[in-house]
Amino acid sequence: MLVVPARPDVAAKADESRLAAWGKSLRGHPLVGPALALLLLIIVFSFASDRFLTATNVSLVLQQTLVLGMLALGQTLIILTAGVDLALGAITVLATILAAKLAVGGVPEELALLLAVTLAITASTLNGWLVAKVRLPPFIVTLGAFTVLTAVSYLLSGSRSQTIPKGFLTLLGQGVSIGGVFVSWGIPTLLAAYALFAHILGNTAWGKHIYAVGDNPDAARVAGVRVERTLIGVYAVAGLLYGVGAWLSLGRIPSADPNAMANIALQSITAVVLGGTSFFGGRGKVLGTLIGALIVGVLRNGLTLAGIDSLFQDIITGILIVATVSLDQYSRRRST
């Protein structure tokens, strides 16, 4: 905790009630709700199936959450600017198709990936440009991009999945076995991305600007933040994350499928909102999104292990969304 140096009395006061303050800040902390929800699910499922809380299954859930987790990270950045990205699945799918087509056509896999990531960045940057410069609503811009890019994916792929051989493009699906538990390179990749963006949002000027732009763009502009540049930058960086998401996806299933990720835009929004980020921008933490994505993955895995119909996943996820947001609203009203 930072203390005003000129006023030692404040420091003393803070010291004396540190414990109480700690408890209070924990109660008001934005990650407590999502973390408790995840913990609760884990406890319930470990009673429901003795195969749930095993190292193998933990690894499995992580593998299954990689792509969603990476895309939801980009979605978090965009939602923090009071935007939303409906195109992220379409961008990612198109990147997988381009990479697979190029690689199968004889382009070196590293170059194929580079071009696919460049495509993802370009597409998302264009969205950001339309949002920032032309001032179109993000919902409309990304809905349009979703529509166009989905069609382009079908055209480029001839509506067919393109299978690719094992290699650099599937690298993130390979990994090591630690004590018999498979850990793919995708897992440290995802965790590193979250650590990096937790740092960027929490400790850098750009991170502060993202929050400020999402909270109140006019106030940010008047304070000297270059709002348009910040916005375009966020979409560009999100595009980079989608490119990495495409790489993760090819690692998980060595096939570029134009039908893939049809629902991932909504799933990523679900993960972001479950993670406590405000849908209206300016407030949230990327770590919350990681927890949110894990909630989605744990629910899917746990209910299957418990032998419960998959429709209940949707029912429970929906209830969780509304519950976390109400809890958040409630605690906010109390804390202000």
Find the binding residues for another protein in span 258-297 (CB under 8 A): 258-263, 265-266, 282-283
Selected binder of another protein within 91, 209, 275, 293 (CB under 8 A): 209
Distance of closest approach, residue 57 Cβ to another protein, in angstroms: 5
Q: Applying CB under 8 A, does 176 fall inside the site for another protein? A: no
Question: Which residues in 27-56 contact another protein (CB under 8 A)?
Answer: 49, 51, 56
Q: Smallest gap, in angstroms, from Cβ of residue 111 to another protein?
A: 25
For residues 275 and 293, what is the distance between their CA atoms, to the nearest angstrom? 8
Residue 329 as a binder of another protein (CB under 8 A): the answer is: no
Under rule CB under 8 A, residue 211 binds another protein: yes
- Choosing from 31, 53, 60, 156, the residue that interacts with another protein (CB under 8 A) is 60
According to CB under 8 A, which one of 29, 40, 163, 178 is a site residue for another protein?
A: 163
Out of 106, 176, 205, 333, the residue judged to bind another protein by CB under 8 A: 205
Q: Is 64 in the site for another protein (CB under 8 A)?
A: yes
Binding footprint of another protein, residue count (CB under 8 A):
77
Report if residue 208 touches another protein, rule: CB under 8 A: yes
C-alpha distances (whole Å) from 257 to each of 151, 164, 167, 267, 311 are 13, 11, 18, 18, 24
Query: Does residue 171 interact with another protein by CB under 8 A?
Result: no
Task: Please report whether residue 229 would count as binding another protein according to CB under 8 A.
Answer: no
Least distance in angstroms from the C-beta of 325 to another protein:
17
**What is the Cα–Cα distance from 258 to 269, expressed in whole angstroms?**
21
Name which of 69 and 282 has its Cβ closer to another protein: 282
Read off φ and ψ for residue 164, nearest 5 degrees.
-120, 150
109 part of the interface to another protein, by CB under 8 A = no
Q: Mask: binding to another protein, 302-321, rule CB under 8 A, as x and -?
A: --xx-x--xx----------
Q: Which of 328, 334, 304 is nearest to 316 (CA)?
A: 304
* Contacts of residue 254, Cβ cutoff 8 Å, sequence gap at least 6: 163, 164, 165, 166, 169, 170, 173
Q: Does 5 bind another protein (CB under 8 A)?
A: yes
**Residues 47, 312, 69, 54: what is their CA dihedral angle, to the nearest 10 degrees?**
20
